[in-house]
Amino acid sequence: MALSLILRTCSRSKLSCKLTHPAISYSNSSGEKPNEIRKSHEKSVYKREEAKRIRFYILNRFIEYLKNYDKVLEKNFPTTMKTYKVFTEGTWSFIADTRHYFKIVAMLNSSKGSYTKLLRREIELQHQMPKDITKVAPVLLFSTLPFAFYILLPLIYALPKQLLTSHFWTEEQKVKFETEYLHDRLVHNKPVFRHLQSQLKFIKHHRKNRDLYEKWNKTLGLLGSGDQPTIECILACKELFKDEPYHLLYLSRNHVFHLLRVHGIHAGWFRRTRLADRALGLIEMDRAIMREGGVHNLPLEALRKACYLRGFHTKDVSHKCQIQWLTDWIKISSNTDKDSLSLLLHAPIFLGYNEPSNWRLLHPERV
């Protein structure tokens, strides 16, 4: 019995040791005091905050790099970036003008639509945008295809005149390309003048126009000798353009072709109709100029553009001479009606055939 009591006591003591041992081992497992444990936790938190600050610093630097990435590209690839920027800005300008153009067309086609409600700038836009849309729309559609822009960008750089419009040109390109386009138009002045001369015999022997022969012969003689006939001399022969031989319906095919090119119109279908539309458009532009205060109130760039559109090269031409030239044009325009549209269509020859600035552009080697 005594032996069993001793064994029972020992087993209880071992059990108590096992129960109390984990607590003791847990409290001393790390071998660190509570203060040391607290410090280690604070240190780990500090490291995490430091890592966050480093990450934010790197991220901010990366964002700043992206913001200035265009400057890096401009520095390393100046020509490519300039082309890209001009194309992007030109696209937005083209879209804005296209929207404005369709608003103008919708207004003109409405029941209360009238050119008298349009500004000069809007009539010029309505005149120019159909040609620009036809030229640029295929390029913009092609640029939306996957990876197409990488092919298009070098083509745009190489052929801006052929592929794009003035929306996408730099100021230097605008001056250069407009001068080239005007040169191509002025080349056709002489063939048109020869066609006018070729009808003198018909006028001389035609009873209806016989009285005008002397006046018209004198007018063409002045043009042929390098002088400028007066506006009064030109208007005195207006009847010749209301019937044979100079009405649009009576002009020869070759005469019509060169007249189209004088005005920068393609020589495709409905030639005479498109010439008539051009004359009516020019008349409306001239009326808008007068509604807005006359030629003297035109800004310099608007005056230059108006002269360019009508076939007058304004380089090295004084502001006063530009005003006088456009004033003479509007005198002819204001005396033109639907029956004498051909008169206004020939005004680039009457007013510009002997202009020194046009002559210098056509024959630079003789200057």
Of 148-152, 161-165, 275-279, the range with the highest mean pLDDT is 275-279
pLDDT band of residue 9 (cuts 50, 70, 90) is very low
Give the pLDDT mean for 266-272: 91
Residue 69 pLDDT:
47
Instruction: List CB contacts of 127: < 8 A, sequence separation 6 or more.
Output: 281, 285
In the predicted structure, residue 146 carries a pLDDT above the cut 90 = no
Residue 254 pLDDT:
98
Give the pLDDT mean for 217-237: 95
| DSSP-assigned states of every residue in 99-128 | HHHHHHHHHHTSTT--GGGS-HHHHHHHHH
In the predicted structure, residue 240 carries a pLDDT above the cut 70 = yes
* Mean pLDDT score of the chain: 84
User: Residue 340 to residues 160, 235, 280: CA-CA distances in angstroms?
Assistant: 38, 11, 11
pLDDT band of residue 210 (cuts 50, 70, 90) is confident
Residue 239 pLDDT:
94
Residue at 226: amino acid letter: G
In the predicted structure, residue 124 carries a pLDDT above the cut 50 = yes
In the predicted structure, residue 277 carries a pLDDT above the cut 50 = yes
pLDDT band of residue 120 (cuts 50, 70, 90) is very high
Residue 21 pLDDT:
43
Residue 78 pLDDT:
61
In the predicted structure, residue 26 carries a pLDDT above the cut 70 = no
Alpha carbons 131 and 114: distance in angstroms, whole number: 22
Indicate the SS3 state at residue 355: coil
Q: What is the pTM of this model?
A: 0.77
Which of these, 81, 55, 80, lies nearest to 68 by C-alpha position? 81
- The region of weakest confidence among 87-101, 198-212, 318-332 is 198-212
Give the pLDDT mean for 3-30: 44
What are the domain boundaries of the chain?
70-160, 186-366
- The region of weakest confidence among 50-64, 75-89, 253-267, 331-345 is 50-64
Indicate the SS3 state at residue 32: coil
Alpha carbons 116 and 132: distance in angstroms, whole number: 24
Structure tokens at 126: 């309505």
Residue pointed to by tokens 């050119």: 115
Q: What is the percent of the chain where pLDDT is above 90?
A: 61
